[in-house]
Structure 1
């Protein structure tokens, strides 16, 4: 069996190609399209779905637009949950108006689109002296908004169609009788007023003030001319202990200073002497004199021992 497969491998490969490719074309393309990740659906208006990716992109565009107009605005406010929800709500409103425009067949014609673009100040500034549109600058204008000229025109066409939906709603509004009367009365009313001006310069020349009047006015208005009491205080704190903490004296500097001021720092030489008398008379027996001598030698040894320990 394996020999048969090995000997007819080319025929089997052709058969597999015939079986696999048509099945992929018939069934795989649709499944591959459905597998494309469009993101989680966060809202739905009619048959139009709004995905998380579209929501994030729309919110980022609004953030960029707001930052361009108000650079000092706190970035935390733009990234808050309330701001993101407001972006989603505007997307839902726009999609809802678009669905209404589509159902009412409110389509913007090419002539109306052309007239609107000609009146747009941002596009009118792109025209040259001959009145022709500079296409290179027009493409740059669309690219600055992340679109091509075709995408820009499609967005303007969609906005004009949506405006027709809002215009029909606004035109259908009916003012009440009270609102109409208030508007007409404000328009038809007539009022007469008189103005009398009192200029200080007109009366300044007529005013004559004496020293007594000034003194009296000052005495009655003393608080108005009194300034709050204040004092300027300057002081310097000399703390020897605090200064000593920051002073570091090397041992060599101390030794040099001592040698230079030896006479001033050294006092007069003084010596202290003390003696111990061990009495042994000339007439004393030899044993007593030897006992006294041994005692003296012992005391002398103790003194020498204490001197070495002190040194």
Structure 2
């Protein structure tokens, strides 16, 4: 075929064809003939992709958080719900948008802010102080390096920068606070009549009506699905740890010696003059001149005010530049060297340049000398710490073995029970609302009704029902949901029909009474029932009105202010099934002047937080409106 083409096309036509072909290849890229691009992102925000790996990492993190939180409002299975997945992805998209906004605005998280956040995390502290050994051990248990964790912290802080800046500029006026306390302390006087429940004149219910009602409400007469499960449980509190040998304690002491020593520390404050990345010589010069000027002015007496007014470290400026107690190695080498060279009470005379941050002026407020504790002195503490760590190790080991054995023998718990020496326990029957004892735990219930257990008849995966408490389940008995026959519930259906008839009559009775009262009739005469009153009721003390039905109280505080000389009545169904009519006779606003300053300031802070959250969401929504966002739901 090629030879035929060659014979037919030669001379200038061949040159044109060849030229067009070369142009096509050059323009589109020859790789497009061999490689097809396959998108794998879960979401794309402008040019930034949220990869499937990012998505899976976030989901894994949430699963671990749920498993480690006994009273979590969510279960691991909830994470598979489409609506919750969408909420999680929306949060990730919002983080990308906020980080992009930071870049556009030239905002960056300083190394100092990252160190302060990590150093202040109680999970990395021993005796109230940051412990590098504990820090590395905790990260290692989570499969993370310090660099990975610091990047995660930096990313988290970056998403907080704009919300915190918005919060710092949110204002709540005295009038806003006053309006709240006027409503909060508002008092209302009301009248109400509890109308007697009317009697039926016709109590006949035809079989056809009972049958129709039953068919329409068959779900109300269904015995719920129930299961009984066998389960194996590993509890850390029940594991025997034993007594450590001296050799084990010495090994533990050598490994975690820093926990049993008081390192040299410095209590410091600083003022940061930021030097932008890729700063021009003029910007660098201006920052240095500003830093020198502040260093010349700074004294222990005015340092906090100078920091609050001038520092570019948003994390510490509000507290006068306070960095807390610092150890060697926590800050940058240049900062460390300057800090530990100062004497107590000194302020650095020259600014200290720290890479990626800027110039620091340091005030050394106090100092602690290092003090290592010998093995003999801390032997008792060592034994306790070793026992705790050994208990956790044994628990993780045995829980891991349980999960592995249950997975390798999915049809029964017998092999796992025999191998680990555990007793197979059996729960009573319980439904999806749980039962007594262990079936009351939401995670246990979720696992028991999981598809792998109920439908496939397999062992469940490992369920963490509490800290140091792991369980694997297997179905023992399953009772499917089943409708009760009409003959068994006929009397109950008939009674519900009669109750609905009475309820309709009661509602009509209340509506007719309100229509008559609107014409100016007397409520006591028309209702033929006693009129009850309640005065001085407030929103924050509704529970104190024991003689007023809750539904009447709620209705009273939803009614408009009364018009002088004209009562406005409203009908409301109360808890006993009766109807009541209620009217508000008087409204007296609360007096903001009687509220003390501490309470006002506390409320102002709460209102500022609420307003800041609302404004932040408006800002994020505006960013979303401008961005091109693509979501691949099939990859979630």
Tell me the TM-score normalized by structure 2. 0.22
More helix by percentage:
1
Determine which structure has the larger strand proportion and give its number: 2
